[in-house]
Amino acid sequence: MASVILGRPRTPRAAKEPPVTDVRLARRQLLVDGVPTLVVAGEIHYFRLRREHWRGRLELLRTAGADTVATYVPWVVHERADGTLDLTGRTDPTLDLGAFLDLAAELGLQALVRPGPFVMAEMAGEGVPDRVRREHPEVVPVGWGGATAPTGDLDYLAPAFLAETRRWYAAVGEVVGPRTAPNGGPVIAVQLDNEIGMLAWVSGSPQLTADACVGLRDWLAERYGDGLVARYPGLPDACDPAALADAVRRPREGWATALRLDLGRFSRERFATYVDALEEAAESAGMGGVPFLINVHGTTGGSGASFPIGLSQLALTFPGHAQRAAGSDHYLGDLTLATAGDLHLMNAHLAALSDDEQPATSLEHEAGHADYGDDLAARTDPSAVVLKTRLSLAQGHRLLNFYLFAGGTNFVADPPRSDGTTRFGITGERHGFAAPVGPEGQRGPSFDSTAEAMRVAARLAPWLADADEEHDDLALALVLDDYLTEYPVPGSDDDAHAVAELAHARGGGPRGLLPRVLLTLGYRYGAVDLARDGDLPRTVVLGSPVAADAAVQARLATHVRGGGSLLLLGSLPTTELDGTPCTILSDALGVRVVGEVRDRPGWFTSVTSTWGHGTERRVGRAQLYEAEGAQVVLAEAMSGTPCGLALEAGAGRAVVLGCDWGADLGLFTTALTWLGAAPGLVREAIPGLITLTTRAADGSRLLHALNVGGSPVSTSITLDGVALWEGAPLTLQARTGVALPIGVRVSGHSLTATAEIESVDGWLDGREDGWVDRGVAILAGPGRAWLDGTEVEVVRDEDAGSGAPSFRVPLGPAR
């Protein structure tokens, strides 16, 4: 009997197996030697480990189930006190990057290299040597009021900084270049810088060096032409750079909102120019021929609501570049109903901004127990990393880097530091105490759950590496300009109000409600970037602030009047983002905004509903309407004035909910049904239950079901009009997930089962009349199975060695 693998296998690369030679992005897939692949990586910082400990940590990574090691390459550590760069271990054996990569290859691991120049990672100077700031003080940006940046930020486009970065990349390239996949090495991807724009965002301090201010003045002149004087009366000319810089850093009150918006758009272009320069430097240093990755920051305080700020900043850095891909960087802690809605929307937004060639990745996929303060205040449930992994895989992620996989040591800095710590890291001697593998190499409380997450990815890879997430004809709209709020103008009450209004309703709408409601109702939704060309889905769902760009309003108006449908939660826009009156959308819908009621001392704004529960509900604010012929859905309780409408406009329909309405599932079900948005997957609406489907290139489909709640759930499911499993209910225990085959192609058959596929194996059975292909699908647990539409027996076998049973589905001859 000769053993073979039937179906669509994916096995870890053996230590002695020849290395890959070609890695590229195509059709939203990651192709490794032409084969669609899921990459499962874990971050290990070689520079935080004694060299003799490298092998043990890498072996633990292999044991956990990863096929790739990721690591920062920190400039601040490799640049020594004498100004030389050591990446070969000349001064310290822990700095031999090549030896680390070679050891990874020896152990059968690929590598993802992240050379900065910024690395963050709790490093002194954010990973950039202090010498750069000391020798080139002009690269240290100033912000509002001429104040020096309060972070370690630097002017990305300062000539001196770019020159220093090219020197750094050249040194890294001498080691990494010969070890890239096209050269037979383990390096399959290179990340360009890290969390670009994050430092300016978190501090609210833009990069306003003199050169940047001159560049901004030129950009404004090109964008507004003769209208520049009206937009910025009194703005000095670029021929007086000192006066210009002072005017930009201390803007007049009348400029504030316009300057915040324009500065954000201008910075997008600067970031894109910077990334182009980094790619050129990387290729010149020999690190080309593999995909370049862009790390998108944006989560804060355990919420993903601000993630599109990072997307907005980097919106021009990866679209249009076929061999660049963007990756999320998320720290959400536990996956709850709230954070699951955030993560799902983050993933959808990332996909909406990516081109057809670019797969989604997660370059810092939060692992560990999240007690980053080492104070027992924030330990997450071990199931969180598994649930996050399942959700991201179901949404098309092709690379997950579990960060941080192994902790280590912040060694004494060389050169010595003078900023309160003797170490090159800012967390003390021990670093990564929340990681699955602790600083001393011990398996931490999250090791097993991280390993389970990695095994899930490997197990599902045969049917996910080339699969697409299936969507209903509905999408949540992404309006990137709603997130041009990273540089609020200090001291401007008008601009502070404008920023607060945007933050109130953008993205998921007031309270971030929309993604949670759609997931609860079973909708399989994606996102659509309203600034990009292309067809819109039939139903657009929008969290809408009171301000919206004229082009966005016009596109939505055209969509509805042309036969599409719109569900809007928040406010009908009455102005453009800069405050200029603009009612394109409301005019197209035949609605007039006549006022607004808000909470105030002694007043509790309430609204009554004719849909859903049909009761009075407390809200924080309500926008009031007049609209002839519209159906009143919501009304302000005291006056009876409409604040929610269902209306027809042209050939389409719209539902406008002009308040911060709550999770009235009945109302939203009625609204979406009236708009013609029918879910293709029908089940009971259960908060905490998420159901998605994927379809691979050969037609294989998986039903992904996650229960992020604390209680078991059970529901029957109908998909595309057919009751799954002959109407039997799906039951999920608390905080668990599955990816069930619903027509998976294995060994020439179509397999459907109520348990996840653990593996597929097969053999060649010798008979008198010749050799016959036979195979078996191993299920992860007991259940029912259907082969080519006919129910077949699931065979339970007891494993004499482990005592654990296995559940086998004989597949019969291949077809």
Rounded distance, CA 267 to CA 201, Å? Answer: 11
CA angle 34, 39, 45 (to 5 degrees): 130
- For every residue of 730-798, DSSP letters joined together read EEE-TTEEEEEEEEEEETTEEEEESS-EEEEEEEEEEETTEEEEEEEEEESSS--EEETTEEEPPEEEE
Q: In the prediction, which pLDDT does 518 show?
A: 98
Q: For tokens 């912000």, what's the residue?
A: 143
Q: What is the mean predicted confidence (pLDDT) over 125-142?
A: 97
Q: What is the mean predicted confidence (pLDDT) over 747-757?
A: 94
Beta strands in 637-735 (DSSP E): 642-649, 652-657, 681-682, 689-695, 701-707, 713-715, 718-719, 722-723, 730-732
- Residue 175 and residue 231 in contact, taking contact as beta carbons nearer than 8 Å: no
The structure's pTM equals 0.96
Rounded distance, CA 689 to CA 97, Å? Answer: 45
Q: What is the mean predicted confidence (pLDDT) over 704-710?
A: 97
- Residue 705 and residue 690 in contact, taking contact as beta carbons nearer than 8 Å: yes
Query: Does residue 205 have a pLDDT over 50?
Result: yes
Band (pLDDT 50/70/90 cuts) for residue 19 is: confident
Domain layout of the chain by residue ranges:
2-203+268-465, 474-679, 686-810
Q: Which tokens belong to 575?
A: 């102005």
Q: In the prediction, which pLDDT does 22 show?
A: 95
For 619-670, write each residue's pLDDT tens digit. 999 999 999 999 999 999 999 999 999 999 999 999 999 999 999 999 999 9
Q: In the prediction, which pLDDT does 295 show?
A: 97
Rounded distance, CA 557 to CA 53, Å? Answer: 62
Q: In the prediction, which pLDDT does 765 show?
A: 42
Q: Which amino acid is at 482?
A: D
* DSSP 8-state secondary structure symbol assigned to residue 303: B
For 91-104, write each residue's pLDDT tens digit. 999 999 999 999 99
Q: What is the mean predicted confidence (pLDDT) over 235-242?
A: 93
Q: In the prediction, which pLDDT does 801 show?
A: 62
Rounded distance, CA 436 to CA 449, Å? Answer: 9
Q: How far from the centroid of its chain's Cα atoms is residue 104's Cα?
A: 27
Q: Name which of 83, 168, 68, 80 is nearest 118 in CA terms.
A: 168
Q: Which of 9-23, 199-213, 531-545 is least confident?
A: 9-23
Q: What is the mean predicted confidence (pLDDT) over 470-477?
A: 98
For 563-577, write each residue's pLDDT tens digit. 999 999 999 999 999
Query: Does residue 11 have a pLDDT over 60?
Result: no
Query: Does residue 803 have a pLDDT over 90?
Result: no
- Domain 2-203+268-465 is found in CATH 3.40.190.170: no
Any idea which fold 474-679 has?
Rossmann fold (3.40.50)
Q: Which of 65-69, 608-612, 742-746, 771-775 is least confident?
A: 771-775
Band (pLDDT 50/70/90 cuts) for residue 447 is: very high
Handedness of CA 695, 696, 700, 702 (dihedral sign): negative
For 359-384, write each residue's pLDDT tens digit. 999 999 999 999 898 898 889 999 99
Q: Assess whether the region 2-203+268-465 and the region 474-679 belong to the same CATH fold.
A: no
Between the CA of residue 794 and those of 733, 765, 781, 801, what are the distances in Å? 22, 20, 10, 21
- Residue 124 and residue 424 in contact, taking contact as beta carbons nearer than 8 Å: yes
Band (pLDDT 50/70/90 cuts) for residue 160 is: very high
DSSP H stretches of helix in 74-195: 75-78, 97-106, 130-135, 159-176
